[in-house]
Structure 1
Amino acid sequence: MPANRWRLPPTRKGQETRERIVSSAAALMFRNGVEGTTLDEVTESAHVGKSQIYHYFDDKAALVAAVVEYQATQVLDAGGPQTMTLDSWAAWDAWREAVVTSYAASGCVGGCPIGSLSGELADRDEDSRVRLAAAFERWQRGFEHGLASMREAGALRADADVPTLATCVLASLEGGLLLSQVTKSEHALRTALDGAIALLRSWSPEEYSRP
């Protein structure tokens, strides 16, 4: 993981100010993109002076790195469908419904915060690319954990390649979110997740027949 280029404040007030700066920057960058967000806009949204931003961050790149960490935490640790325990077929079906329902309720706006940042930063900011890759790896490990539990319980065949299946789920989720963002319909997301879960179920013993 790249070294941080920001300073963590020692006081509660300082921590709250820094958190306000990062959350405001994250909201602006999610809506307008990284390139479309200026530090002046961040100062206005966070109700701070520019000197306060530079007190906590060396430059805009350091603030972007903090936003990447913030969005990863919001997606992976802040609750919601992405944190569900996926160790049964019922759990996978409930997860799909929760993901689709949540995104439909948003009006299919914005896509995935981690995916959106990846589209902008992966090819031009190596520091951010590494952080984003780590976030996706954490996300995939969550899928792997559930699938490994199912394999141990006999719900998946013993020869199921858990990491590969987890990658397929994550790719289906990200692709479905992107298509639904463009079409403004949750249909693509639901279809993508239906396909991913159908792939998982094809590895269940009861659906396996020898040639």
Structure 2
Amino acid sequence: MSEKKPRRLTAKGEATRLRIVAAAADLMYSQGVEATSVDDVIEASGTGKSQVYHYFSDKTELVEAVVRAQIERVLGEQAPFLDDLRTMRGFERWRDAIVVGVRGWRGAHGCPMGSLAGEIAGRCETARENLQRGFSVWQHWFRLGLERMQDSGELRPDADPEELAVGLMAAVQGGYLLVKTTRDERSMAIALDMALDSIRVALSAAE
């Protein structure tokens, strides 16, 4: 089911809608989608039931809006580091930023996108497709960075940027899952270091 497309919103209406989605995203991230009720969102957002149902006909539509918001959030936070993926050092800076991020909150709830995928991808096809597109964009940045390294001669011509990008995505998502479970950020550091090692062995001899 797709989200309603109401008439053009006023600035106040758009602010209310964004507040509802933000509250729902925070709750679903911290306690899970299943455990979050519409009433919880109403209370957390400081809105009324009629306001919530003006923008979303049911919880499914609200969840789909949360998925889109979390994809935008994650990719937006990653963007400065992903755009810097032009050298091995750029990938190392990205790795450091991820590790610092999970250290700050002990990885309590995992990746916002990954957590949603684990809970709802098998139950909501629209959400799954949106998450797939989000992960594809993230992985594309990895591949683009590796292709830039190939173009500059830093990465060997026989290296496969797509395979290395898949490995990086698997490492970061696996790292998030382990940190969420163990509350030990070293799991993320180890996972990413091993993925980066697979790139290092493919560097040109001059490197």
Q: Which band: TM-score by shorter chain?
A: over 0.9
RMSD between aligned alpha carbons?
1.7
Q: Name which of structure 1's ranges 3-12 and 166-175 shifts more when overlaid on structure 2.
A: 3-12
Deviations 1:17-64 (A, max 9, x none): 000000000000001111100000000000111111111112110100
**Residue in structure 2 matching 1:7, options 1, 5, 21:** 5
Q: Which stretches of structure 1, 4 residues or more, deviate above 6 A after TM superposition?
A: none
Q: Does 1:120 align with 2:116?
A: no
State the 1:108 CA deviation: 2.1
State the 1:149 CA deviation: 0.5
Aligned residue for 2:22, secondary structure, equals helix
Deviations 1:89-111 (A, max 9, x none): 11111111111011101122111
What TM-score, normalized by structure 1, do the two folds share? 0.92
Q: Does 1:94 align with 2:93?
A: yes
State the 1:11 CA deviation: 1.0
Query: In 2, distance between residues paired with 1:91 and 1:79?
Result: 13
Residues 35-50 of structure 1 mapped to structure 2, 5 A cutoff: 35-50=34-49
Relative distance call for 1:167 and 1:180 in structure 2 (3 A) is: same
Relative distance call for 1:80 and 1:140 in structure 2 (3 A) is: closer
State the 1:159 CA deviation: 2.0
The residue that corresponds to 2:136 in the other structure is 137
Query: In 1, distance between residues paired with 2:180 and 2:79?
Result: 19
Query: In 2, distance between residues paired with 1:194 and 1:167?
Result: 15
Relative distance call for 1:148 and 1:63 in structure 2 (3 A) is: same
Aligned residue for 1:190, secondary structure, equals helix
Relative distance call for 1:86 and 1:182 in structure 2 (3 A) is: same
Q: Identical aligned pairs, as a percentage?
A: 40
Query: In 1, distance between residues paired with 2:78 and 2:93?
Result: 15
Q: Which runs of 5+ in 2 are unaligned?
A: none
